[in-house]
Structure 1
């Protein structure tokens, strides 16, 4: 699976804020998700990320900006996101309509996902109490201590390795409006050491009463996660469940089918799986007649080496 630049955020099309020498007619401030990025290897201007962000604030009506996408802030595998986050914090009294932020819209050609140096992103939530959506790409150095936020509806972490400490911080947070939670757990080799036990407060169903979509994805322990979901109280309140991108086999699928009913779901995403043909058919017969849209088209990459079967998550390095 490729990791691409966002083409939209918060329902708004992404728009790249131009370089200093580009003559571009800018859209109205509230009609797009503004992407601000600085690639030190492709950008020939003397303007760094901080300078670009400051020029952005003087080029549009900042009080009308609804969505911001933070791309490269320089050499993202050496310098962390602190400076980019600091620019957001300093602009909090100007970006008064900001509803969505994505930090780290960086593709492999710019930096591999597990090389992106992240930071503590919770200051953004504290600075913007009206924020409804926060997304982050990259797990290296990522921190998310428990936080309270009354209005956040979507929280998304795209990583090749999500630290267990981050999962525990999310699970301990007070987010009463949270409707959509997406966690790419990744692999242990790249810092993905979260366990099913770390997810327990989320799976209990009492932590996030408004939650309607839960994604626990891209994990090498996907069968364990599926088995936990089979008895997790949170599933009853969901409209969609995403267990895609990981190492999900017939064992995990059988646990799901033998557990609590899933027929209330509108969508169950099991893409990038390692199912047998018989299990694929069993899942469809069990769920699709009840109206559940089951995604299972993409198969995972499997190799054999010295009689050992090797299976991989969709995104790691």
Structure 2
């Protein structure tokens, strides 16, 4: 029976779709082009050849040349472009994991309340003056991370109350606690002491990459690849989880332990991402769903392609945020919502037409 069950799990995971190798190659090239454009375009345009010249000299250890190009490229735009790629990749990965966790292709970290907890803690840090170093300072990052982990603990405890574990109970606990925390967040926004503080809070809640710097890259640069590798190693188990708890258990998978591990990884990763970029909506929801339509539901292919797709998307979105208006920068969450909401409605319409 085991071979039969494995075959059923494989069919259910959706092996059909475009080949993963060519898709990854196309996305890799697109990411390289998007990163080059992100560093090249801005209020001061720098030719791509000069951009790569500065990057090459920095990586080779040469002394920087006099002038503003080196400062703009290496100190300002390269960290921001890399942060956008890391956050986008992380959101794609965490969205894929959450959708496997609750067996729902339209789920994301907001559904489990994790983003709400991180947002509440970060807003509290801003209002109480703990966000040292600006809107994305170290104090704020630590608060957002602690808020995500605290919410994870609370949601997990509520979902596990009475013993056992059910995805529906987890979702309901996450939604209820997330809404409760969002109410406190709104209250804190009203308590902001001055106009500048209120602006910082609202801008952060809508997502921002403006605080990017080389030191800020360290934690997401370590966390996102490690989370992807960990999840990739459990891709087969995640495929089986989609078939239901009994089928997964019949294949020798400890379902409760797997869900606990998935919940822990998604909570930690969400906390890191929210800490460095604020609350960015729709990316974690849309990217895995679109990738699933293209390459199928096998997590061995879905996870890396979701990471690449999320990275490309957020780098492009950040370019739009920086260049769309001459006088100010758009919050990242505004653009992702404007793109994501219509896309979500379209995908929902397709699911209704197909009867799934």
Higher relative contact order (CA 8 A, sep 6+): 2
TM over 0.5: no
TM-score, normalised on structure 1?
Answer: 0.28
Decide which structure has greater helix share. 2
Q: Which has the higher strand share?
A: 1
